[in-house]
Amino acid sequence: MANALDRIKSAIAGNKVMIFMKGNRNFPQCGFSAATVQIFEQLGAPYETMDVLSDPEVRDQVKAYSNWPTIPQVYIDGKFVGGCDIVRELYETGELQTMVKGATGQAATN
Amino acid sequence: MDPTELQQMIERGLPGAHVEVQDTTGGGDHFEALVVSDKFEGKGLVERHQVVYATLGDAMRARVHALQLKTLTPAQYQNRR
């Protein structure tokens, strides 16, 4: 199995919208992870998740990779976008919709 | 950790900043903070939050589970009032 850093990099490179979270989209294990997934569900754009609870090495190394101390972490088009509160703020200003559309070429539904 | 300790850490790391911190669950590890500083000028949200996290050093890893941040420049803070 690739080491944690390679798994992080390929997940980010391989998915236009990548969310490192606690749990998964159907069973989020933390309120902030749940709220973040909820935003992308509302946008209706495709996204991939990785459960850091089942991969402690990734859980630590993704924080160093982005210089961001908490989970969830959202990456769009290979770029770190933020955690729950920044994603929520971007959603409220409409910037997130623009970023997602730019990355996936798919208009956000709302 | 109590909110005042967290507030003082941010103030020490960002001299001159206006800082308000609340414990959101009463458990001493989930916080909400408003930070107003001219150091945020020209910085995006991620950078602004990283500036605040940098003032907390290891405390952010060990003792603070969640820190929801509102990071404003003095001008933004004035407009909000």
Q: What confidence tens digit (pLDDT) does each residue in A53-96 have?
A: 999 999 999 999 999 999 999 999 999 999 999 999 999 999 99
pLDDT, tens only, B29-55: 999 999 999 999 999 999 999 999 999
Phi and psi torsions of A95, nearest 5°: -65, -35
**CB-CB neighbors (< 8 A) of B67 in chain A:** 70
pLDDT in tens, A10-60: 999 999 999 999 999 999 999 999 999 999 999 998 999 999 999 999 999
Query: Which CATH fold topology does A4-103 show?
Result: Glutaredoxin (3.40.30)
Residue in A with minimal Cα distance to B63: A69
Give CA–CA dist B79/A84, Å, rounded.
25
Report which secondary-structure segment, H or E, holds A100. Answer: helix A95-104
What is the DSSP secondary structure assignment for residue B15, as one 8-state letter?
Answer: T
pLDDT score at A58? 97
Residue among B69, B78, B23 nearest B48 (CA): B69
Statement: residue A3 has pLDDT above 70: yes
Q: Does B59 touch chain A (CB under 8 A)?
A: no
Q: Give dist(CA A45, CA A16) in Å, integer.
A: 10
Note whether B39 contacts A: Cβ–Cβ < 8 A. no
Nearest-CB residue to A86 (from B46, B53, B67)? B46
Query: Which position has the token pair 């769009």?
Result: A76
ipTM: 0.83
Domain ranges of chain A: 4-103
Query: CB of A69 within 8 A of CB of B53?
Result: yes
Question: Is residue A60 less than 8 Å (CB to CB) from chain B?
Answer: no
- Looking at residue B80, its pLDDT comes to 83
Q: How far is B71 from chain A (nearest CA, A)?
A: 10
A25 within 8 A of A76, measured Cβ to Cβ:
no
How far apart, in Å, are the Cα atoms of A31 and each of A38, A75, A93, A100, B71?
Answer: 10, 19, 22, 22, 22
